[in-house]
Amino acid sequence: MATAAPPEMKKTLSLTGLTINAMALIAPGAFLWTTFQFQAQQASAGKTTAFDMLPGLLFVLVLAFLTAYSYSELANLYPSAGAGSSYYFAEAAFLDKDKKAHHQFARIAKFSVGWISHLYYWIYPGIMVAFTGTLLIYILSLFNVTLSTPGQIAAVVVFSALTGYIAFRGISGSTMTAIIINVIQLTALAAFSALAIIFRLTHPALNYAHSGAFSVVLPHSMTNVLMQGTIAILLLVGFESVTALGAEAINPKRDVRRAILLSLAIQGAVAYVIEYFAANFFVNSSVTAKDATGHAVSGYAAAAVSGAPIGDMIRFIGDKMLGGTGLILTAILAATVLVALIGTTLACLNTGVRITYVMGRDKEMPSILGLLHGKYATPHFGVMVLAVVSAAFGAYGVLSADNLTQILLASNAGTFLVYGMTNLVVLVAFAGRKDTHVLKHYIVPVLGALANLGMLFAILYLNIQAGGSTATDTVIALVIVGIWIAAGVVWLVVNSATKRKPLLVTKEAAAG
């Protein structure tokens, strides 16, 4: 009796599908709303760094394009990577070499990249869940409804379960959801940006934070640019997620590399730049809020203490320029952000679990994570586990700004590490090849690696130097990262001993 073939991931994604899934992860309509307060709060030597919000974004955008290009080159070189992404690239780069001495490092390289990737891919969905819970609290407050702490936790758990169920059902339904969500959020983005710019141009008498357009764009302090960059990187991560969908791409060699660069260009270089310019161009002293002591503050200080500074802006615009429609406009914009966060969380679950699936299939993580659902061909056990992890991080993050900052920093550390390591993989992959190009395969990845590692150390140094809760949150984030790395070392050693797998292997052993 013939044995049924195991299920395989279905090739359903065109260039559009790949790009849309990555765009859902970057989600500009959501992140302007969710991160503007954090960026306004950030201070250096007792002064806000918010005046360099857009320069900080432009700085990390260059960094992101360096890394995106490295990912695109690896995707083009290894179109058979499937769901493995950088995990697969790291192994293939060493096994491709003629000298057998290089082959022995393949397993260590792929495990290191794959394990570190989880700091990003498994914490990031929890951050999105926490953002969603925070936004839900704000929307309810517009109608004088207060959600208790147990209610907040219940809300993020239910949300995580629902997105997990959609991811469980398959990538095709998720892609259609992402298309609808991207259209909604980009439309809302364009409307907000246009209104903010028009308002300033038609109300020149107000006291604005920036003297003009050049003040918004040009840097005021390189230290502040770097510090803003540590938050702005959160806005841009996700372009590399396309490489984890290679197994579901109809033409991975042609489309994956294009989708990487397209998604970053559309969302980062166009949407976010316009959006952040408009919001910072609008900031003025007439939009006020009350600080912890009950005193009225304005401008960036008001944005720093507001639960939704973008909501405050659109409410002010609606009340002053559009006939008292502020509350309605705020509720509509908040609803579009909520929808965008659903799409982002869904994209996180879909892509974040792919490397876990491949590591489970390779028995580098528990084998149950490497199984596919018989009907939907999704890594269902991985999705379920990730949904639970996301609910836990989301419930922790929604409780306080400090909690959210801790998991943000831990996720960012994972992002910078895996991006830096992937840039270094390019050097290995293209070393000695006839088609090696000095700019593409040496200069770009070296700059990308240095930029990512430099940003990581900048975060640690500047945040610890800042003292107070910022330093405490950074130390806690470092503890999270340290525990995960230590757990990886222990797992690798124990798993290798149990399965009698050598840490250093030959090409033939790796293939077998």
Report the C-alpha gap between 10 and 352 in whole angstroms: 18
Helix axes 149-169, 326-361, angle to 10 degrees: 60
Of how many residues is the chain composed? 512
Q: Copy the structure tokens of residue 140.
A: 């309810």
For residue 465, the Cα-to-chain-centroid distance in whole angstroms is 25
Q: What is the DSSP letter of 267?
A: I
| Residue whose C-alpha is closest to residue 239's, from 79, 351, 90, 118 | 351
pLDDT given for residue 479 in this prediction: 95
Q: Are strands 47-48 and 288-290 parallel, antiparallel or unpaired?
A: unpaired
pLDDT at residue 175, rounded to an integer:
66
How confident is the prediction along the chain (512 residues), in pLDDT tens digits per residue? 444 445 555 676 778 878 877 776 666 667 788 889 888 988 877 788 999 999 999 999 988 899 999 998 998 888 877 777 888 899 999 988 877 777 888 899 999 999 998 888 888 888 888 888 888 888 888 888 887 888 888 888 777 777 766 666 655 555 666 777 778 888 888 899 999 999 999 999 999 999 999 999 999 998 889 888 878 887 887 777 777 776 677 888 788 888 888 888 888 888 899 999 999 999 999 999 888 888 899 999 999 988 789 999 999 999 999 999 999 999 999 888 888 787 777 777 777 788 888 888 888 988 888 777 666 566 777 778 888 888 888 889 888 888 888 998 898 899 899 999 999 999 999 988 888 989 999 999 999 999 889 888 887 887 888 778 888 999 999 999 999 999 999 999 999 999 888 877 655 554 44
pLDDT reported for residue 342: 78
pLDDT of residue 512: 47
Phi then psi dihedrals of residue 349, to 5 deg? -65, -40
Domains of the chain: 15-511 (1.20.1740.10)
pTM of the model: 0.84
The predicted pLDDT at position 187 comes to 85
